[in-house]
Amino acid sequence: MATKTIDIPDLTGQTWLITGATSGVGLETARSASDRGARVVLAVRDTGRGHQVADSLPGPSRVVELDLASLGSVRRAAAELRGGEAEPIDVLVNNAGAITPRLRETADGVEMLLGVNVLGPFLFTNLVLPGVRRRVVIVGSNAHKAATFDLDDPHFRRRRWTPAAAYAQSKLGDMLWGLALDQRLRDGRAEAAVAGVDVQLTHPGWAATGITNASGNAVVDTMITRVCSVFAQPASQAALTTMFAATRPLPPCSYTGPDGLRNLRGMPTLIGRSAEASDPEIAERLWQFAEAETAGA
């Protein structure tokens, strides 16, 4: 499929902090921001790969080690970014995410997808938020529409775990903590935040990236990759929704995704979300849960 584009403003003088920027949508977001003049901070688990990406970018960049499966790593990364001569962050893009073929736990003993996709980004954002001066972008997924967040058993310790169920719940969690953060920014409860900072949610559609290779079976993963290469949009196209969410003047906590069939591919536009993802009371309960889960890390 031919990649289209959108008008992206000049980003000279801005600093963008992007998680998971060594491949897929995160890498294409970093390239796009750098191409338009932004200084890019790559918050990544694989710092070797991170430095390779940094060297390939046309503009200035920095690499920070961040493993979202370890809340200790999250705290160290945030301390590095906020310590010493800390630079302001114009845009924080929470892009990193994971899917696994079997039930696993993080270093902190929480279900892996909940930890990497929700709790790690939640804590990281709260810790660096005082340095953010314009926008927080959270890369979600329309998979959230298939989920109900089970606050009684969020780690799947009593109910049956499947990759699809855990991933959908984690993406609903992203929608909910984003909504709760937006509420706090607007009503002044996020006391350390710079006035005017907002939250935007985005869905990249069906993107041809490595996250689809999660079955644990090499043959199956190869077949999935081949199908994706035909029907999914390339990562550079999928990243347009992130760039749209990061650069456009949008209502607070808008949800951006592709405009094509079932929002799987196409050009960025505002799209709808599930009723649960729009519920401020559920969002507040999710926030309280996430605070408790990350408080002692």
β 233-234/207-208 pair status? parallel
Helix (H), strand (E), coil (C) string for the chain: CCCCCCCCCCCCCCEEEEECCCCHHHHHHHHHHHHCCCEEEEEECCHHHHHHHHHHCCCCEEEEECCCCCHHHHHHHHHHHHCCCCCCEEEEEECCCCCCCCCCECCCCCEHHHHHHHHHHHHHHHHHHHHEEEEEEEECCHHHHHCCCCCCCCCCCCCCCCHHHHHHHHHHHHHHHHHHHHHHHHHCCCCCCCCCCEEEEECCCCEECHHHCCCCCHHHHHHHHHHHHHHCEEHHHHHHHHHHHHHCCCCCCCEEEECCHHHCCCCEEECCCCCHHHCHHHHHHHHHHHHHHHCCC
What is the rounded CA–CA span in Å between residue 124 and residue 127?
Answer: 5
* Residues recognised as catalytic: 167
